[in-house]
Structure 1
Amino acid sequence: MNGLAVDLVLALLLLLAAVCAQRLVADLRTLPRAGSGPGARPRTVSVVVPARDEAETLPHLLAAVRDQDPAPLEVVVVDDASRDATAEVARTGGAEVVPAGSPPPGWTGKAWACRTGVDATTGDLLLFLDADTVLAADALAGLLDVHARHGGLVSVQPHHAVVRPYEQLSAYFNVVAVMASGAFTRAAGTARQRHVPMAFGPCLLTSRADYEAVGGHAAVRAEILDDAALAAAYDRAGLPVRCAIGGDAVRMRSYPGGLRQLVAGWTKNIASGASSAAPAATAATVGWISAHHAVAVGALGSLVAATTGSGSGLVAGSALLWAVAYVATALHLRWVLRRTGSFRWWAWALFPVPLLAFDLVFARSLALTVVRGSVSWRGRDVPLAEAPEGVG
């Protein structure tokens, strides 16, 4: 096969991977602006915030909740055995504090905290928020508008606020979470949807009636990814699941505690989420990631060959192909990153760097899953799978 034919084949494969991935992010919808919904909105919204060691993040969330129009009926912070001043900070912020206590056998800590919070509320609608989320003043109005249109479970993947340089390494984790969910294809949330829907735990809105009808968190009490399992429960009950990305309305800053916290958090998320993603979306996402690896290796190999005069035989395809592919890959990544987080230019222009970080954390997650069957998070051991016999 001559050089031109090789370039053509490689270009077609890379293009196919990009097109399949683009279908997964074809409808990155955001919440509607205030006043664009269908009529009057109910005001009986109960906010439930499961919190474990969230003294630093809670003030921002509670201040944002107080600014909502319409205002929620009540805000309940469930203190999940925090080792810091979470309860005191929550009370100062105007929330009712409910201690979670020890989860009963078979319950995960977060699922039990959510169930405990629901039992302490009275509103017709339930809004579950992670403590590190921040809402714009019209976010609740937008959530209520979406729920009025679609019913069931409304879920938002928050816009990732990226502050320090090490947080740029979350680039691929954010994009993979959105792509592999399959929640943002044109068919997602419609009758043409062919897979079980996904939900994002940081922001969930549902009616109390629907929540109880599907069994609530009791139905997903043993699931590490309770959000995905809750979405599946709604789907089994014939109730819709509607997802959006945060945009300007819902934001969060993940892992502000340093690189070690970022690695631990994404290790847990990858390990627990791998089996929950839709197969078709997973395959397209893997193809997209593989194409990025090919471009990174091809471009680097071509650069080394051009500057040293050696190693050209180790790289299939021409230097021009890999140069064009590198630019196209970086620009597509830029397009997605700008919609999912506040990532800086180098996260996409130098994409092999965050791609390497993704590889290393993925390898760590795989090793811990296979060898230990668990990972550690916030002082708790999170079981993921059965460890091999005689190991652990």
Structure 2
Amino acid sequence: MIWYQLALTALLVLLLAIALANYATFARIRRNSIPLHPLPASILVPARNEERNIERCVGSLLKQEYPEFEVVVLNDNSTDATGEILQRLAAANPRLTILEGGPLPSGWVGKNWACHQLARAATGTLLLFTDADTDHSPESLRAAVALMQQQRLDLLSGVPRQTMLTFWEKVIVPMTQFLYFVYLPNVFITRLRNPQFAAFNGQFMLFRREAYWKIGGHESVRGALIEDLVIGRRAKAHGLRTALATAVETVRCRMYTSLPEILEGFAKNLVPGFGYSLPAVVGFMAATLLLYVVPAVMVVVGLAVGDCSVAMVTLPALQLAIAATMRGIMAIRFGMGWEQLLLHPLSAAMAAVVAANSIRWHFGKRGASWKGRRYV
């Protein structure tokens, strides 16, 4: 038992070292940055059933402090009031163009088809794909272009500040950032060409136009449920310069508003994120439980039965402290609250639940579904 606990503690110390390195090296899209050459830009927004978010999103994009840009929104066959809201906004804003999406072709995922149509309509030298549930400060585009030019990037992906209002949002949503902040050194993303070392966020993807079409655009990932990761890997495979940066100063996003939405959204993405490998997903579940949940259980049980030995309480308590430190470092970098320090064991347990649900979806007869569409 003691050797197992020592090995587990050593592994967590290694992960803490990665988190500290990422804290120091993670690029940041800074609000006050000014690009040397503000090239013409197209801001492209796919929107399907986004009546709750679309007016706020588009309104923030139209206020960009940038000399030459257009906003193009595609209404992807919405069945709610999204289309009506967009038409009203377009009537008052000549900079805004509204596209009506065509029928979804066979073999395409809805978002990828929408982004493909948007890219074909765009006129800018730079293409910013951003989700309809984002909210941008006036400096958002300008600051991102500045970082892209400073680092001579072909693709810059930004991680917005996640707006989390409910308990379960605060528990589950941060696990996405935790995965690439703790397990993947950021220098691997930016400096290694190996496409396996990739992490990208589809909420904010800024391409140079020629780079986007060089890799085949969204047409090349038409059937991918996690198009951001797959298109980012294609960019790296083609030798393009890429980076993942925090955009917490300039962009906000509320991904989900309820537990059912959270479970559905993450279940759609988790198995594809592991390359549809069942052993990899099961391994992730086991590692997550062993690293972050079992230590909490051991401390509680040890204290309850009066066994306060090193193996039963001391080392597991140290493991919990290391995990909380990693979560705290991540919370600082991504603009999250200090409650994150206390939530990690529960977050890890829920990550295992999400993984099990994702397995049920993707390896069962149900298939994945999102926005009223089913992908088997």
* Corresponding position: 1:92 with 2:88: yes
Q: C-alpha deviations, 1:139-190, integer Å up to 9, x for none?
A: 11111112223231111122211112221122552334434883x5234312
Q: Is the 8 A contact 2:30 2:247 kept in 1?
A: no
Q: Return closer, same or farther for 1:14/1:48 CA change in 2, 3 Å cut-off.
A: closer
Alpha-carbon shift at residue 319 of structure 1 (Å): 2.2
Alpha-carbon shift at residue 26 of structure 1 (Å): 5.3
SS in 1 for 2:168: helix
Q: Return closer, same or farther for 1:87/1:192 CA change in 2, 3 Å cut-off.
A: closer
Q: What is the CA–CA distance in structure 2 between the aligned matches of 1:195 and 1:355, rounded to whole Å?
A: 24
Alpha-carbon shift at residue 88 of structure 1 (Å): 1.7
Alpha-carbon shift at residue 288 of structure 1 (Å): 6.5
- Of 66-75 and 14-23, deviating more is 14-23
| Residues 1-392 of structure 1 mapped to structure 2, 5 A cutoff | 8-20=6-18, 22=20, 27-37=25-35, 39-42=36-39, 44-94=40-90, 95-149=96-150, 150-179=152-181, 182=184, 185-190=186-191, 195-256=196-257, 258-275=258-275, 290-306=290-306, 312=307, 317-343=311-337, 345=339, 347-372=340-365, 374-383=367-376
Count of residues in correspondence between the two structures: 368
Alpha-carbon shift at residue 118 of structure 1 (Å): 1.6
Q: Return closer, same or farther for 1:15/1:34 CA change in 2, 3 Å cut-off.
A: closer
Alpha-carbon shift at residue 276 of structure 1 (Å): 8.2
Q: Is the 8 A contact 2:44 2:127 kept in 1?
A: yes
SS in 1 for 2:44: strand
TM-score (structure 2 length as normaliser): 0.86
TM-score (structure 1 length as normaliser): 0.83
Q: What is the CA–CA distance in structure 2 between the aligned matches of 1:325 and 1:165, rounded to whole Å?
A: 24
Q: What is the CA–CA distance in structure 1 between the aligned matches of 2:359 and 2:41, rounded to whole Å?
A: 40
Q: What is the CA–CA distance in structure 1 between the aligned matches of 2:263 and 2:182, rounded to whole Å?
A: 20
SS in 2 for 1:63: helix
Q: Return closer, same or farther for 1:6/1:290 CA change in 2, 3 Å cut-off.
A: closer
Alpha-carbon shift at residue 289 of structure 1 (Å): 6.1
Q: What is the CA–CA distance in structure 1 between the aligned matches of 2:315 and 2:183, rounded to whole Å?
A: 31
Q: Is the 8 A contact 2:195 2:233 kept in 1?
A: no
Q: What is the CA–CA distance in structure 2 between the aligned matches of 1:238 and 1:13, rounded to whole Å?
A: 32
Q: Return closer, same or farther for 1:318/1:35 CA change in 2, 3 Å cut-off.
A: closer
Q: What is the CA–CA distance in structure 1 between the aligned matches of 2:218 and 2:346, rounded to whole Å?
A: 39
Coordinate RMSD, CA, aligned: 3.1
Alpha-carbon shift at residue 10 of structure 1 (Å): 5.0
Q: Return closer, same or farther for 1:283/1:374 CA change in 2, 3 Å cut-off.
A: closer
Q: What is the CA–CA distance in structure 1 between the aligned matches of 2:349 and 2:285, rounded to whole Å?
A: 16
Structure 2: where are the runs of 5+ without partners? 91-95
SS in 1 for 2:240: coil
Q: What is the CA–CA distance in structure 2 between the aligned matches of 1:72 and 1:188, rounded to whole Å?
A: 30
SS in 2 for 1:243: strand
Q: Return closer, same or farther for 1:112/1:335 CA change in 2, 3 Å cut-off.
A: same
Q: Return closer, same or farther for 1:302/1:101 CA change in 2, 3 Å cut-off.
A: same
Q: Is the 8 A contact 1:31 1:246 kept in 2?
A: yes
Q: Is the 8 A contact 1:147 1:206 kept in 2?
A: no
Q: What is the CA–CA distance in structure 2 between the aligned matches of 1:369 and 1:30, rounded to whole Å?
A: 35
Q: What is the CA–CA distance in structure 1 between the aligned matches of 2:373 and 2:14, rounded to whole Å?
A: 42
Q: Return closer, same or farther for 1:252/1:242 CA change in 2, 3 Å cut-off.
A: same
- Of 71-80 and 154-163, deviating more is 71-80
Q: C-alpha deviations, 1:310-332, integer Å up to 9, x for none?
A: xx49x980423333332332232
Q: Is the 8 A contact 2:178 2:327 kept in 1?
A: no
Q: What is the CA–CA distance in structure 1 between the aligned matches of 2:372 and 2:364, rounded to whole Å?
A: 20
Q: Is the 8 A contact 1:152 1:206 kept in 2?
A: yes
Alpha-carbon shift at residue 31 of structure 1 (Å): 0.6
Alpha-carbon shift at residue 72 of structure 1 (Å): 4.9
Q: Is the 8 A contact 2:328 2:338 kept in 1?
A: no
Q: What is the CA–CA distance in structure 2 between the aligned matches of 1:192 and 1:137, rounded to whole Å?
A: 33
SS in 2 for 1:81: coil
2:93 is matched with: none
Structure 1: where are the runs of 5+ without partners? 307-311, 384-392
Q: What is the CA–CA distance in structure 1 between the aligned matches of 2:357 and 2:195, rounded to whole Å?
A: 32
